[in-house]
Amino acid sequence: MLNASQQRSSASDLKPYEEVAATAAAGGSSSASPFVLPDTLLNAFDIHCPKCRCLVIRRGVATQQDADKDVEVPSPAATSAPYPLVPAFNWALSNMMAFENVGFTKAVPGGDDTRYLSCADCDVGPIGYHPPTLPKAFLIAADRVRYNTA
Ligand SMILES: [Zn+2]
């Protein structure tokens, strides 16, 4: 495994969700998601932490999954811009080992057993969650991460 500093990309290569979505809209007729590889439907770009920019999910390992409208993910405290509580969609992994870097919050006392996912390096989060009812679902909010489109 590379250490975190080797995995960081330069700032100019990383685009927020809105920017990647906008390039697709400008592209015209295609209804295909700009975020996935057309042949495998796996994530087309390396996915990075929005704050420290370390690599969270490598290209080609996550699937695009509709967000559960009933699940609200709290907005990260460390960011100035509030994120939608229900993401545009989620990146789904079935195995925690498939992440390059990810951290887990403890279950909230008195709450349900939802565990939130954060950046293992700088601790910003939640950037996603792990639903208690789905042991093999690790979900990252698509609009809380950055994409290496270089
Ligand atoms: Zn980070």
> What's the CA gap between 19 and 61, in Å, rounded?
22
pLDDT at residue 81, as a whole number: 66
CA 146 to ligand 1 center in whole angstroms: 11
pLDDT at site 12: 66
Q: Where exactly are the structural domains of the chain?
A: 4-148
Alpha carbon of 127 to ligand 1 centroid (Å): 10
pTM for this one?
Answer: 0.85
- What CATH architecture is 4-148? Beta Complex (2.170)
Q: Express each pLDDT in 111-123 by its tens digit.
A: 778 899 999 999 9
CA of 27 to the centre of ligand 1 (A): 31
Phi, psi of 17 (to 5 degrees): -50, -50
How far does CA 146 lie from the centroid of its chain? 8
Q: Are 56 and 127 in contact (CB under 8 A)?
A: yes
List CB contacts of 80: < 8 A, sequence separation 6 or more. Answer: none
pLDDT band at 101 (very low <50, low <70, confident <90, very high): very high
